[in-house]
Amino acid sequence: MRVRQLPAAAAALLLAAGLGGCSDDPAPVRTPAPAPASADPTTATGDVRPADRTAVRDGGTLRWAVDGVPATLNVYQGAATADSALLAHALYPSLFRPDEHGRLVPDPDYLEGAESTPPGQLPQVVTYRLNPHAVWSDGTPLSAADLAAQRAALSGLDPAYRGGHPAGYDAVDSVAQGTDPHEVRVTFRQPYAEWRSLFGPLYPAAETGTPTAFDRALTGGRPSAGPYTLARYDAAGGLVTLTRNPLWWGDVPKTDRIDFLAVPPEQRLDALDQDRLDIAPLTAAVDRAVPAAPAATSTTAPPAAAPPAAAPETAAPEAAALALRRAASLPGVTVHRAAAASLTQLTVNAARGPLTDQAVRRALGRAVDRRRIADAALTPLGLPAAPLGSHLLAGDQEGYRDNSAAAGPADAARLLDGAGWKRPGGRGTRTKDGKELALTLLVPAGSATARRTADALTADLAESGIALKPVTAPAETFVRDHLAPGDYDLALFSWPAGPSPASEQRPAYAKPRPDPDGALAAGTNYGRSGTEEIDRLFDRASSELDPAARLDLLQEADVRIWQLGHSVPLYQRPELVGVRSDIAGAGAFGFGWPRFQDVGRTRPS
């Protein structure tokens, strides 16, 4: 069994980024690919000003807002954040990178090609052809030693390595040099379909070859291999500075220097207005705006102090609307909008009260008008009201299909009547054995998007005779005090959508197992429902090398999840990014991430 363990801290980060919390999750850039026929045409796949290198000036400095200087640049360590990943994309190789539809394609700066043995041929061997010009910043070429050391660190075979164990590394049997130093042969002990997700980012063997090296915080002063190198890492001053890598073999970076500045979300609109930032994620700045936030827009005003702290519950849709209008009116700034690679869902606690009945859980799935919910959440942000019909794939991802009909008859009332929850006269809240069908809805505190969603859900379920009471919890306790112990009925939060759904999504739906004490160990399956069949479908999809057959297995797993009543997919998380209008190659990246060497200021027209 291969699963990606998602610690509570990471889940909390997803919660915050997913519904407008403290983290805006930066993400990818590629030349736009044609939308797959199965994708929802109304769903945005990224909003980035194309980077025409001939029109981008050489030199200069870019100022990019981040939440904070991360404790480490090693994304596989527990202290890593979304900002760790953003910086790692500029500093370290990824053999593959996702395009705008979540398809992993070779990055020619690091990989000339890669080929796996065909389906049915065992053992599976993947042969990588590394770019012979690719070198670490100390001049050492990328080699099989780097891949072998990273596999050892992330496979879980040696407990001395403290950190995550991403799916797939434990399936690798050996890593060896091929016919020459630039060829690497990776042999798997069992087939692994999502092998393209491995070795991205890739760290030098000196950083992963021993537990001591791997476990220490990676904060600079050691080899990297990206278009930029680390010039300054000032945690106290809230600044990370990257400069051009003098040994970079690819397209010369257009910008001399990038300053990543720790700027709290509530200060970013002022910083853009006062020309102190060039690129700023704004999802949280808009979504968590509070009524007391200053509305000044003068570019001649002195720098504004941070607004006074306000209780998260004071965030209001009206304040968010004002913040969005202000962002859109900033002179010389363009607000880019896209659907992020993150799925917002209504998770149903199957271990609680009336929700232990599968029929009631399925009725919930049919009672929710997902288009109405998406409209309430996304339309105020200027995004299409595109509802989700899959637990595993985003609407702009190749292979997406709406499987919601698998939940059963569209008439939720019939399912509830059959489960014994009656509604005499067709009005009011349903009852059974003298008890009302009244549920709590756990939502992130301070999020206007979550509040609009909760209001729409409350109205939806009331029409079916289900009473809903929203309760809020701050991001720092949402997982620890509520999701993990199961202290909720329904919960609203986001889950990541990535290019490897078989392994990345499995932990959210894996059947809970008894721990050594006999208690139910849900792991990160916060819905607490699962089946052996769903687990087998994920495992088969992970090892199915034929892409079409793998997708069929994922679709079947999604159908079973709908039938189980585990959760209700609602919409993709909104992503808003403010960018100076003369900057190319930046924006709301969707599934991708920046091609840093192309980002820069355009020449005057």
Instruction: For residue 428, give both structure tokens.
Output: 């009011």
* Host H or E run for residue 242: strand 239-244
C-alpha closest to that of 478 among 442, 453, 522, 510: 442
CA distance 516 to 518: 5
C-alpha closest to that of 144 among 171, 126, 163: 126
Q: Whose structure tokens read 């491995």?
A: 198
For residue 112, the model assigns a pLDDT of 97
Q: Which residues, at least 6 apart from 405, have a Cβ–Cβ distance to it below 8 Å? A: none
Other CB atoms within 10 Å distance of the CB of residue 405: 12
Asked if residue 16 has pLDDT above 90, the reply is no
C-alpha closest to that of 228 among 87, 57, 48: 87
Asked if residue 24 has pLDDT above 50, the reply is no
Q: Between the CA of residue 91 and those of 164, 173, 260, 342, what are the distances in Å?
A: 20, 28, 13, 24
For residue 316, the model assigns a pLDDT of 66
User: pLDDT band at 472, cuts 50/70/90?
Assistant: very high
C-alpha closest to that of 502 among 397, 591, 408, 592: 397
Q: 294-351, pLDDT tens digit by residue? A: 444 443 333 333 333 333 444 567 899 999 999 999 999 999 999 999 999 999 999 9
Backbone angles phi, psi at 514, to 5 degrees: -65, 140
Contact indicator for 62, 257 with CB cutoff of 8 Å: yes
Strands (E) across 517-598 are located at 520-521, 567-580, 583-584, 587-588
Superfamily for 342-573?
Dipeptide-binding Protein; Domain 3 (3.10.105.10)
Q: 108-154, pLDDT tens digit by residue? A: 999 999 999 999 999 999 999 999 999 999 999 999 999 999 999 99
Quote the distance between the C-alpha of residue 584 and its chain's center.
Answer: 23
Determine how β-strand 438-444 pairs with β-strand 467-473.
parallel
Asked if residue 434 has pLDDT above 60, the reply is yes
Q: 162-201, pLDDT tens digit by residue? A: 988 888 999 999 999 999 999 999 999 999 999 999 999 9
3-state secondary structure (DSSP) of residue 32: coil
Determine how β-strand 431-432 pairs with β-strand 435-436.
antiparallel
First to last CA, the chain: 57
Determine how β-strand 125-130 pairs with β-strand 467-473.
unpaired
Q: 499-510, pLDDT tens digit by residue? A: 899 999 999 999
